[in-house]
Amino acid sequence: MKNSLPEQPITNLPQGTDIKRYSVLYLLQEQYCHTGCITYLQAQALLEGMSAETGQTPVGIYDAKTELFEWEPDRKLLYNQASIGEQGKRAEEMIRIVQELRLHDSNNQ
């Protein structure tokens, strides 16, 4: 997978804050889930390790600093074939889902 998301960590946080800049979004039993990762390389390795055999269907990687979403390769092909309007709608939906999952996790800590 091509690295289109920047590798820089989130800065200007209080010392000792363990922020996971990247979220790997996946489907598990038809529900969206995410796993936080500190680096893009960790997120990429996690995404590539997911498979139908484990019940995890990879969707993509979200970067909380830039608020960008990168689709996993098979979904990226479908995304690229959609109209510009549909691409925007799909990307906004995934970003909203990941942000809600991250907010839910932060509220439960």
Tell me what pLDDT residue 54 has: 81
3-state secondary structure of 58: strand
Task: Output the pTM of the full model.
Answer: 0.81
Bigger pLDDT: 7 vs 47: 47
Burial class (CB in 10 A: 0-12, 13-18, 19+), 22: buried
Cα distances (angstroms) measured from residue 43 to each of 6, 53, 89, 100, 102: 12, 19, 24, 18, 15
User: CB neighbours of 89 closer than 8 A, spacing ≥ 6?
Assistant: none
Mean pLDDT calculated for residue range 20-39 = 96
